[in-house]
Structures are given as structure tokens and as C-alpha cells.
Chains A and B, each alone.
Chain A
């Protein structure tokens, strides 16, 4: 049974991004917490409907009861201590009928990001950056629908973002692999040559096409696509002298 993502036979309202403000609060040695404030359009919602915020990442979620749509009240404990924190945290908002048709979604919003992630995502960059708990993993790429790829670096690495911007060792070892993984993901995620103009895939493909010595093969053959991605990364590495700069840094630091 294929599940449609566009069912709305119960007249569910869509909560607009501008009606919710979510901020993440980082705490040293403790899971992050969040704040949420609402400017819900009360003309469309029954005031006594229950209001929930669900934070989620991949297969884990944590749910918080914020009172009612007419009178949101934040719970005291908003610690995200039961969530997989290895990637970007998203939020969904649910306004739920508790009187007439119990459990019916009166209104909802999906895939909301905290304000700071929204701001970073709106910048003119191909990916965003997140320092987070990755256990023993040093870094990884994280892909979530409708958002730029996120380069996650283990938060135990001191000044990770600065290292990535300024340290040729970090750049040389991470960026080519991150670029490869993202291009591979794009080809898994989209139909051939069907990158939506508004999606994050389009600027990535434009960027890769701009760098690539040859146009992307007009083929879904994985071997040809892999060769093309190889060419893109080789050229990217050449233009930014990634290996030369890495070796120089190692020599300078006596390694």
C-alpha cells in the first residue's frame, strides 16, 4: 500500500512558519532544551484544542504538551533528553481535537527548524554546519527533506567550525568526501535531471556542473555517474589546492 503524503479529507489547517518561533538552547554537559512561542491564527482553531510540540530526528521523537491552542503554556521540562542528537533536530506542531472527534488533527506544521538553523539555511551557502554529539564518529553528512545538507562534526572536536574554515588538514580530509556523498545522495534522491528549481539540489548540481571539466553524462549508469563525480571532486580539489595545503600545514607543524 503506497501512502500518499497529501491526504486532507478532515480539513486540517496548515500552521504557517511565521506562526511559530522555536529556539534551541545549548547547555554544556547536558542535552539541549528548546523554547517555543506561538502566534496562531485563532480564527481557524478551536481555543480548547490541545497543542503539542514534537521534536524529532530520524526515528526518535519527544513530545511536549503546550496546553491549548487558545492559551499555549510551555511545560516546565523542555529538555531534549530522549532524542537522537546526532543530526539536525526538527519540530512538528499539532493542534488536536479532544472533544468532538478525539485525536483529529485540527492543524499541523511539519519539519520546522529552530530559528538559528533557519537563519543559517537562508545564507548563500551550499550546506550548513552543526557541531553535535556523534559518539566516536568524527563527522558525517545529514540529509533532511527540504533543507540544505548539514555537515555535522563531533562536538568533542575543539573549535570544529573554525578548524573547517581555516585548517587545511580538516578541509583536505573532509570536504572532498562531503562533496562526493552529497552528489551521490542527489542522484539517489531525484529523478534523472529533475532537480526542482526551488530545491537545494539545483544549486549543488549547478555548482558541480560549473566545476566539472565535462558536462554530466546524460545517463543513469552508476559507473558513468561515479566517474563524473570523481572528475568534479578532483577538479574541486585542484582548484582549492587541498592536498598541497594539507602537506604544507603538516610540514609547518612538524608532523
Chain B
């Protein structure tokens, strides 16, 4: 069922935050979706869009595709910092971002995964905004980062998003996609996050930190990075050819 898009106001944000705190304390209750359409807790936005709260997503990538379609034609700068809007969307799909277990309890992540934080270190953790940004910027190249269920964030994204500058660099993401995507499994390659395997994602991050001393990573295209990668990445690169 589609709902006209709105944003949570200050009261709504606090109510949502309190709800997350309560379910973190094992309270068994459904998300307070009534506040999504109630003027006491939320307000209208400047554009006429409707979001389908009943739509089911199997991966975060699918959520990202839907959001990119939804916001097609909207200036990204108009919504990127809209705390109330992103938090409203997270509440709309909260049952998928934080599903109830068989006993009715939920295990929410930190509130900034659902409520866009004023703390810039936490902003990339927002489940929907970062998903939308990645799919909007990189489309299929971001699939390996978002291939798990809507309620799972994953180590690969964790590592890359911790360095916010890196996720803004097209060459870095496209190279990571070539290294770690496994089209056959429709997710990332086995061993991508293993600290025991040579060329894993942590090693890649370390290598980029070294590379940025002599190169502008924002400018470097994928093929240039691939050509410069040390031999330890050959395993992941050749595996790409086999899949």
C-alpha cells in the first residue's frame, strides 16, 4: 500500500528513538507506523511521492533500486540531509530493517541505523540513505556491498563506509566490485572479508591509504587502480575470470 511521503518532525523522531530503545530492552511491540501519517508526529514534504510500505525486498540492493526509482527527478541535495525524511522511510520499512523474531522480540542496531544522525561519523550507517547513495552513484557496481538482506549491513560495507571519502570515489568502488563480486553467487566472493586471505577488503583499504599519498583517488579510474594493484590481489582478480 502506497503512502504519501512525509518526514518525521522533532516529536516523531523522539518517539521513534524511544521505540527503538524500548525494543532494544526486549519490549515486544510493532513499529509505531501510525505516526507516519499523523500531523502530530510527521509533516508533509515539498514533493508529491508515494512509498510502498508493503513492498518486500530480498536485499538492500533491491531497496536501493526502489529508492533510486522513487527519487528519480528529485535533486539529491534537497533530500540528502533530510533527517526527518530518511527516518520516516526507515520507520515505514522497519519490519524489514529490524524484523521480529519468533518470540516477538527484535534486535535493533544502534538508532543511527534508522534515524539519520547529526553526528557525521554515524551518517553513513543509515540503512536507507547510504543504500540509496550507493545504488544511485554506482548501480550494479555497488551490488556486492548490498547483497545481503535488508536487516544486514555486512563487513564489506562496514569497512568501506568507515572511510567516507572512499565510498565517494568511483574508481575505488568499481575496483572493489571487480575484486570481490561473485556473479555466480550473486553476492561477494568467499574470503573477501577473511583476514587470513591475501588481498582481503582490509588489505585493500590499507593499500588505498598508501596509494592516496601519491594519487588523487577521486580521479583514478578503475583500470588504473587495477593495473597498480600488488600481486596479492591476483587471487581475487583471477577468480573473477572463473565465475
Q: Which residues of A contact B (CB under 8 A)?
A: 1, 3-5, 7-10, 12, 50, 52, 58-61, 63, 81-84, 86, 94, 96, 98, 102-105, 135
Contacts and interface: CB of A to CB of B under 8 A. Distances in A.
B213 interface: yes
A88 B80 CA distance: 23
B118 interface: yes
A135 B216 contact: no
B163 A59 contact: yes
Given A1-B203, A1-B206, A84-B120, A7 B218 contact: no
Interface string B204-233: 001101100111111111001000000000
The secondary-structure label for the interface of chain B is: loop
A60 B164 contact: yes
B210 A105 contact: no
Interface residues of B, number: 26
B214 A3 contact: no
A58 B210 contact: no
Contacts of B203: 1
B121 A58 contact: yes
A47 to B, nearest CB: 17
B165 interface: yes
Given A60-B164, A135-B118, A7 B216 contact: no
A10 B171 CA distance: 20
Contacts, number: 69
A52 B215 CA distance: 13
Contacts of A50: 219
Given A3-B209, A58-B120, 17 more contacts: A3-B213, A5-B213, A52-B216, A59-B120, A59-B162, A60-B164, A61-B165, A63-B218, A86-B120, A96-B219, A103-B171, A103-B224, A104-B214, A104-B215, A105-B215, A105-B216, A135-B118
Interface of B: 80-81, 118-121, 162-165, 171, 203, 206-207, 209-210, 213-221, 224
Contacts of A7: 210, 213-214
B220 A102 contact: yes
A151 B214 CA distance: 33
Contacts of A81: 81
11 contacts: A1-B206, A3-B209, A3-B210, A7-B214, A12-B214, A52-B218, A59-B165, A94-B216, A96-B216, A103-B224, A105-B214
A104 B81 CA distance: 32
A60 B162 CA distance: 10
Given A1-B203, A8-B214, A103 B120 contact: no
Nearest to B80: A82
A63 B165 CA distance: 10
Contact of B219 (A5, A10, A103): A103
A8 to B, nearest CB: 7
Given A96-B219, A103-B219, A103-B221, A9 B210 contact: no
A83 to B, nearest CB: 8
A92 to B, nearest CB: 10
Contact of B214 (A10, A63, A84, A98): A10
A98 B221 CA distance: 11
A95 to B, nearest CB: 9
A103 B209 contact: no
Contact of A103 (B118, B165, B220): B220
Nearest to A61: B165
Question: Across chains A and B, which 8 residue pairs bring their CB atoms closest together, nearest first?
Answer: A103-B220, A84-B120, A103-B219, A96-B216, A60-B120, A1-B206, A10-B214, A103-B215
